[in-house]
Amino acid sequence: MLRLRVCLLPVVALLVAACATRIADLPRSDGDVSAGKAIAFQRKSLAPTDSGRLALAEDLQPGDILLSAAPGVTSFGIRLLTTSPVSHAALYVGDGEVAEALGGGVRLRRIDAMLAEESVVAAFRNPALPEDGARGVSRFARDKVGKPYDYVGVMMHAPFALQRRVCELPGVPTFLRETCLSTFATLQLIHGGDDRFFCSQFVVEAYRAAGFPLTRARPHWVSPEDIMHMRAGDVSSLPVEQPLMYVGHLKFAPLALGLPGVSVPLPGSVPRVQTGPVGQ
């Protein structure tokens, strides 16, 4: 038992230390010609730096990306493995419906049903997506309803989620990190084909098919955590074509793993959500 604990220590340390960084420009003040550079760190919290916002279902637009987490053991395992506050990604396709890839395959779900079943739901938007692009994303998502789930692809992400942390250690230059991740993904991740999807792959593939790719990385490389880090102001481990805009939290409830007599909270996952409308 002691040997097992000693062997696990480097793995735990790597997971904790893995936090992608990049060199960013400091904000300029009046009269300051050069504000200099600083190291920007990847943000593990789902809330933005200026606290969260409360959003309503009516605030959503077709093409919006919904990142969420559920109270179950499966969701907890994904969040623990990826050190992320989210475990699922879905698309809002209009008319109060959400398209998503789950264990039973691609399906449509009412937004009110999603809010009832998930503990945390936050919305993100591609601000450069035009109306015809949003229709293209929604059309792709609806056309794929009934397609099977990519079990092989998502299972391959488990070892990849651990090994990729080597590429994401603080101080690793952006080019080297992206090259490292691309190499690991090419060697380890299997593409199940264009007729089966897991959740984040489905979201990224819909944008790619509509002609507005979120990233140059292949869709089956992308996890819900990767999509979260594509938001504006964050540090993405993958190359981002268009940073996402945070719309707001549609729902938030403290997340914990329920065990007999034990409650294990998820540190860093609690946003400060304002009670006013979006934009306030």
Residues labelled catalytic: 199, 249
Half-sphere CA count of 70, side-chain side, radius 13 A: 15
- Per-residue HEC secondary structure of the chain comes to CHHHHHHHHHHHHHHHHCCCEEEEECCCCCCCCCCCEEEEECCCCCCCCCCECECCHHHCCCCCEEEEECCCHHHHHHHHHHCCCCCEEEEEEECCEEEEEECCEEEEEEHHHHHHHCCEEEEEECCCCCHHHHHHHHHHHHHCCCCCECHHHHHHHHHHHHHHHHCCCCCCCHHHHHHHHHHHHHHHCCCCCCCCECHHHHHHHHHHHCCCCCECCCHHHCCHHHHHCCECCCCCCCCECCCEEEEEEEECCCCEEEECCEEEECCCCCCCECCCCCCC
120 strand-pairing partners:
69
